[in-house]
């Protein structure tokens, strides 16, 4: 039996398309994710490190964060811990994308508060499926 995963359409907590915050220090990765996610109908905002990402997450209304681990000023684990500690963002879904592929890295991301974990380079279709799944979960 061949099963195909069909992403759910973008769902936002408010009116308009779902808003996604991409937090990654690599400009090319942010642009790649922006291109993929906007093609799926999402509104995308970017942050170049964990400090900027946390400021934007706390100040804005987002439906999902896509977060790198290795970043200057504040790494992805610390970003997630602070995101989970703030009442306004405690339940905001977060997908970690990183080059770190060991099971200990996956465990550390989940302990810090990640809802999903993907190893870079992330194929576009895989990113789209995970984002749609997390937004579906957040919409419940």
Cβ count within 10 A of residue 45: 17
Asked if residue 58 lies in contact with residue 82, where contact means CB atoms within 8 angstroms, the answer is no
DSSP assignment letter at 1: -
pLDDT in tens, 93-108: 999 999 999 999 999 9
> What domains sit in the chain, N to C, each tagged with a CATH number?
19-139 (3.40.50.2300)
Taking CA atoms, 136 is separated from 32, 33, 107, 139, in Å, by 23, 19, 23, 5
CA pair distance 78, 137, nearest whole angstrom: 23
- Pick 140 or 45 by higher pLDDT: 45
Residue 86's Cβ-side half-sphere holds a number of Cα atoms within 13 Å equal to: 14
Asked if residue 66 lies in contact with residue 30, where contact means CB atoms within 8 angstroms, the answer is no
- 16 falls in which pLDDT band (50, 70, 90)? confident
- Report the mean per-residue pLDDT for the chain: 88
Asked if residue 68 lies in contact with residue 49, where contact means CB atoms within 8 angstroms, the answer is no
Q: State pTM to two decimals.
A: 0.86
Mean pLDDT, rounded, for 65-86: 96
Mean pLDDT, rounded, for 70-82: 95
Q: What percent of the chain has pLDDT over 90?
A: 84
pLDDT in tens, 86-139: 999 999 999 999 999 999 999 999 999 999 999 999 999 999 999 999 998 443
**DSSP secondary structure string for all residues of 67-108:** E-SS-SSS-HHHHHHHHHHSTTTTT--EEEEES--SHHHHHH
């Amino acid at each position: 039996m061949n099963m195909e995963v069909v992403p759910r359409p973008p769902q936002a907590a408010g009116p308009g398309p779902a808003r996604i915050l991409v937090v990654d220090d690599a400009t090319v990765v942010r642009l790649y994710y922006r291109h993929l996610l906007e093609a799926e109908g999402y509104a995308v905002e970017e942050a170049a490190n964990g400090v900027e990402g946390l400021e934007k997450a706390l100040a804005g209304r987002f439906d999902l964060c896509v977060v790198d681990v290795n970043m200057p000023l504040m790494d992805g684990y610390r970003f997630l811990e602070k995101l989970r500690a703030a009442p306004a963002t405690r339940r905001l879904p977060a997908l970690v994308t990183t080059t770190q592929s060991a099971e200990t890295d996956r465990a550390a991301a989940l302990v810090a508060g990640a809802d999903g974990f993907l190893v870079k380079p992330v194929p576009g279709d895989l990113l789209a499926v995970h984002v749609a799944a997390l937004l579906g979960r957040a919409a419940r």
